[in-house]
Structure 1
Amino acid sequence: MATLPLSAAMERGGEREREGERERDPAARPRVGVIGGGLSGLCCAERLVRSGISVTVFEKAEVLGGRMRSDQVDGFTLDRGAHAIFRHYPEFSSTFDMDQFSWGHFGQSAGFFDGFRIVDVGNPMGNLKLVRTLFSTGVTLIDYIKIFLRYKIMFRVLGPYAPLHASRKDMPVKELFEKKLGLSQGFVRNFFTPSFQPIFLCPPEEMSSQAVDFIMTALTCGGTALPAGGVQAVVDQLARRLPDEVIRLGTSVEQISKNSIRLHGESDETLFDAVVVAADWGAAAKLVGKDAVGSPQFSRSSTTWYFRFEGKPPGSSTPHTIVPVGESMVDGVIINLAFVNSIQPAYAPMGWSLCQVTTVGLAKSTDELSLKRRLEYFFGPTVHHWDMMSQHYEWEQHQPSHLPRFDRDTPKDCKENSWMQPARLSNGVYCCGDYRAHPGFDGAIKSGKAAAAAVCEDLGIHVASASLVKPPRAYLFWLWHVMVVFLALMTTLVVVM
């Protein structure tokens, strides 16, 4: 029977003794302050609490959520920005109890508006009626097979974060599609660009191939959805896992150091063993300095507007989501609109419709009359009877940019995800947020968990598991992939013959 060396045994015994002391006396537990009650900050706090650490979350707003907030107005659910939950993002699906949400699904298709008509375009594997409309956009059968093999099989077998690995060369996605993969210009111009421009807020020349590969892989694993209660429901599930005394709303932090936080309007400092800055980039830069958090580039600004009207959306078969084809990214242009109550019925009262419209730029770049004139191209004069809700949400920094990263210095401990930056800024000060990782929900969650792990490591505490959901059995995973590969090969043989 193998035995531990004396020094290792003493160290392990001391660790058990310290853990027992923390359980008996909560005051003996290390204290960590987390600044920011958005998705990343709450993920960090939740993992720290499960690791046995005393945590306080400081949120300057009166509601948790950050960019993932939803307002309830006259029975309507208004998300603060256009959102779609990628249910198969690896971190999202392993962090949240998916069965607790009541999901409304976007479906397998979207409406493409070419200036004259709305064409329903989508995945023909989900609906055979979409075969004709998909290929009418200029997408070829060879395009479809290449996309299927790359995202449905290759990256799923390699792993969800394989597209972001440091060993993979990054490039503009247009170069990847047209030169490396040999996809048609029709696919890039008429299908990919209108589908992904609303997500990235930039043309294909400015999109990172790594980021696109990651999102496309998640999309082919499963679609997008909205939970009842809005995207706020995601944040609320995290908040319910935390003790009530952890959250301090309406509390603004003015200054921090490695072991203290001073609140706005107070002279005394609150002592902590570590401080995690989980605020947005602007607030984080003020607290710890731009040199510490870096100067990430952000995509263009955007504004989300809401219109309500009685009855169903115009037209008998209007798609849930509509994107214009061929629009340039200039202020005031509509880049995406959705009848969100058709996706998630809980977003509007019975008998009403809610149209969510997203435009490029801040609110000052357009007005109600200009918006309705643009919407008239889509639906005709009926839009002038729609009631524009007073709430609109503008984001000067829509999200961190997805620009290709050609010359980046990837830390040794971040090779598996080259977009990740170390959470540790200095002794006792840490930072997290999607601008510290790959942009989006998944990056925010992963960065928050990484910050919690770094804090526990420095405090000498065993960190709780990053995943709360049991993964599927391995043999079922590989059996499914073998079946998919077999079907793909058979399809290819039929096409070739």
Structure 2
Amino acid sequence: MNFTRPTLYPPAIKTPFPKNPRIFHHPSSLLTAQLASLSRKLHPSSLVTPLKSLSKSPSSRLSLRTKCTIADQQLAQPKETGVVIVGAGLAGLAAALRLNSSQIPFLLFEASDSVGGRVRTDSVDGFLLDRGFQIFITAYPEAQKLLDYESLNLQKFYSGALVYYNGGFHRVSDPLRHFWDSLGTITNPIGSITDKVLIGLSRLKAAASSFEDLLVAPESSTRERLLRDGFSSSIIGRFFVPFLGGIFFDAKLDTTSRLYDFVFKSLALGSNTLPSKGIGAIPDQLASRLPDFCLKLNSKVTKLNSDLSTVELENGEVFRGKFGLILGVEEPEAKRLLETEEAALANAKVKPCRSTVCLYFGADDAPIKEPILILNGSGKGIVNNMFFATNVASSYGPKGKTLVSVSLVGSYESWSDEELQNAVREEMGTWFAGSVVKAWNHLRTYRIGFAQPNQIPPTNLRKDPRVGPGVYACGDYRDSATFDGALVSGRRAAEALIEDNGW
């Protein structure tokens, strides 16, 4: 695919992304002697200038950002900035980039040692392990504006799936991309012939509607929607439950039909992919475009002060956002930070979140060679879906090795890691040769307690980001529970702040 470079945000800067840095450096951080001299002359009280007093000329906006940079160099931890952003997940990063595009100074605080929030990748024994089952759909509209797809080197899945049912694997294919494959599966037991035709018709219908219209359309549960569209209970149970359940982490398909429509349209127009350097390459790319010294890692915000514009860090330091505060953390954490304040989010009811467990194994070979998602359509066992990640992106493992990814829906809190590992091995031994599975080397188990917000009806997938005086919230719980929803909500939070300040 060829995508034009985004115009909404500044262009990506081709700089290497350092491992676990405390501060992300930008080439312009190599200040000249003249700027260094200027910084020594500036008094701390003059380091942040009200935007309304600035000229609208580009030179004035550049001067404002220069002062933010100098402030951060002169005072290792400046006490005041334009905007404080809490959380460097996709939403917080998108908010930061939107503010930066308007030359508004900010500080972005992240509690962990790197950006991404839930969208992270770890390197273990030469394998790339995404933190939970995550795929990137290329047709996401906000992502197309914001990301440089070419540099992500996206590797595609086959457009369809293999379904394990009744002791064998059965193919379900996208009829418009794999017509002949689809014809060959017309009589398999994963649904009726009518079901296969309905998949094609639903694909065409989804592609014809706008994303915005889908997010505000009349809603029901996804299961109710599938039944209303005429799908049989057999294809719902054998295909849609493991397929959509693995995306929504919802085995009952109670999730709103709005999210189903949004994802189905995205799949109809785009491809399921993995970045060659792991899913964490997406937030890494966003972070590489932030200005100097505005991203603070290992900086956990523990509370908001009474004025809702001041945050206190775990180490006791206090920072004030002169123009506002943006909360880009997960819904439970946002509610905790606001629980003592008169803010809209503080009193909101939080639905139980969606959880997942992902187990990774290293192997010498893959029993299936295709870059395809494999679903459990049997209705038995604990595995929901699995795939051989190195079939999709060979960079996910050392040369000659295979990375096995197995996903479960739910938290499995009463199970130990060892019990889960043994149960998964036993179940996979019925799908593939037992001797093959026995040789798999367990790499890591990820338990993702807050994998996604719970978006059962009724929903509002375009929530107002304003949650208190000068306080804005963003995250996928404010929009669609997708990568795209997180990016959109971050931009909308920043734009609401800009509008409220009259800029």
State which of 329, 338, 359 in structure 2 corresponds to 1:288. Answer: 338
Residue correspondence of structure 1 range 76-115 to structure 2 within 5 A: 76-115=127-166
Deviations 1:151-179 (A, max 9, x none): 32x443331222112xx221122322323
Question: Which amino acid counterpart does residue 449 of structure 1 have in structure 2?
Answer: R
Preserved CA contact (<8 Å) 2:83 2:106:
yes
State which of 397, 403, 426 in structure 1 corresponds to 2:450. Answer: 397
Query: CA, structure 1 residues 380+447, in 2 after alignment: closer, same or farther (shift >3 Å)?
Result: same
In structure 2, what is the equivalent of residue 227 of structure 1? 275
* Residue 134 (structure 1) shift: 4.5
Q: May I ask how many residue pairs the two structures share in their alignment?
A: 428
SS in 1 for 2:407: strand
Deviations 1:72-119 (A, max 9, x none): 122110000101101101111221111111111111222111141122
SS in 2 for 1:397: strand
State which of 288, 293, 314 in structure 2 corresponds to 1:264. Answer: 314
Preserved CA contact (<8 Å) 1:301 1:396:
yes
Task: State how far apart, in whole Å, the 2-side matches of 1:176 and 1:97 are.
Answer: 35
Residue correspondence of structure 1 range 150-299 to structure 2 within 5 A: 150-152=202-204, 154-165=205-216, 168-179=217-228, 181-256=229-304, 257-266=307-316, 268-289=318-339, 292-293=344-345, 294-299=348-353
Task: State how far apart, in whole Å, the 1-side matches of 2:186 and 2:143 are.
Answer: 30
Question: Which amino acid counterpart does residue 122 of structure 2 have in structure 1?
Answer: D
Please report the TM-score for the alignment, with normalisation by the length of structure 2: 0.79
Task: State how far apart, in whole Å, the 1-side matches of 2:66 and 2:177 are.
Answer: 56
Query: CA, structure 1 residues 79+145, in 2 after alignment: closer, same or farther (shift >3 Å)?
Result: same
Is it true that 1:129 corresponds to 2:178 in the alignment? no
Deviations 1:391-434 (A, max 9, x none): 221111221123122xx6xxxxxxxxx41111111221111100
Residue correspondence of structure 1 range 130-145 to structure 2 within 5 A: 130-145=182-197
Preserved CA contact (<8 Å) 2:310 2:318:
no
Is it true that 1:346 corresponds to 2:395 in the alignment? yes
* Residue 38 (structure 1) shift: 0.5
Deviations 1:261-320 (A, max 9, x none): 22113154445321111111222112112863223324442111110012x2125x5663
Query: CA, structure 1 residues 52+353, in 2 after alignment: closer, same or farther (shift >3 Å)?
Result: same
Preserved CA contact (<8 Å) 1:200 1:299:
no
Preserved CA contact (<8 Å) 2:371 2:392:
no
Is it true that 1:306 corresponds to 2:360 in the alignment? yes
Task: State how far apart, in whole Å, the 2-side matches of 1:95 and 1:292 are.
Answer: 29
Higher helix share goes to which structure? 1
SS in 1 for 2:329: coil
* Residue 334 (structure 1) shift: 0.9
Q: Aligned-residue CA RMSD in angstroms? A: 2.4
SS in 1 for 2:100: helix
Preserved CA contact (<8 Å) 1:423 1:451:
yes
The gaps in structure 2 that reach 5 residues or longer are: 1-51, 69-80
Preserved CA contact (<8 Å) 2:84 2:320:
no
Query: CA, structure 1 residues 362+190, in 2 after alignment: closer, same or farther (shift >3 Å)?
Result: closer
* Residue 120 (structure 1) shift: 2.6
State which of 20, 33, 48 in structure 1 corresponds to 2:84. Answer: 33
Is it true that 1:386 corresponds to 2:386 in the alignment? no
Task: State how far apart, in whole Å, the 1-side matches of 2:413 and 2:399 are.
Answer: 29
SS in 1 for 2:116: coil
Preserved CA contact (<8 Å) 1:194 1:326:
no
Task: State how far apart, in whole Å, the 2-side matches of 1:377 and 1:41 are.
Answer: 43
Query: CA, structure 1 residues 49+318, in 2 after alignment: closer, same or farther (shift >3 Å)?
Result: closer
Is it true that 1:355 corresponds to 2:404 in the alignment? yes
Task: State how far apart, in whole Å, the 1-side matches of 2:162 and 2:195 are.
Answer: 20
* Residue 15 (structure 1) shift: 7.6
Is it true that 1:453 corresponds to 2:491 in the alignment? no
Task: State how far apart, in whole Å, the 2-side matches of 1:14 and 1:25 are.
Answer: 11
In structure 1, what is the equivalent of residue 3 of structure 2? none
SS in 2 for 1:218: helix
Deviations 1:12-70 (A, max 9, x none): x9885587644334477771010001000000001101111011110010111110000
Aligned-pair identity in percent equals: 27
In structure 2, what is the equivalent of residue 148 of structure 1? 200
SS in 2 for 1:65: coil
Task: State how far apart, in whole Å, the 2-side matches of 1:162 and 1:87 are.
Answer: 20
Deviations 1:122-146 (A, max 9, x none): 2233231332324413544544444
Task: State how far apart, in whole Å, the 1-side matches of 2:99 and 2:110 are.
Answer: 17
Preserved CA contact (<8 Å) 2:371 2:389:
no
Query: CA, structure 1 residues 300+54, in 2 after alignment: closer, same or farther (shift >3 Å)?
Result: closer
Does 132-141 or 256-265 show the bigger shift? 132-141
Task: State how far apart, in whole Å, the 1-side matches of 2:55 and 2:392 are.
Answer: 51
Question: Which amino acid counterpart does residue 438 of structure 1 have in structure 2?
Answer: S
Preserved CA contact (<8 Å) 1:47 1:452:
yes
Question: Which amino acid counterpart does residue 131 of structure 1 have in structure 2?
Answer: L
State which of 370, 374, 377 in structure 2 corresponds to 1:322. Answer: 374
Query: CA, structure 1 residues 16+348, in 2 after alignment: closer, same or farther (shift >3 Å)?
Result: same
* Residue 363 (structure 1) shift: 6.2
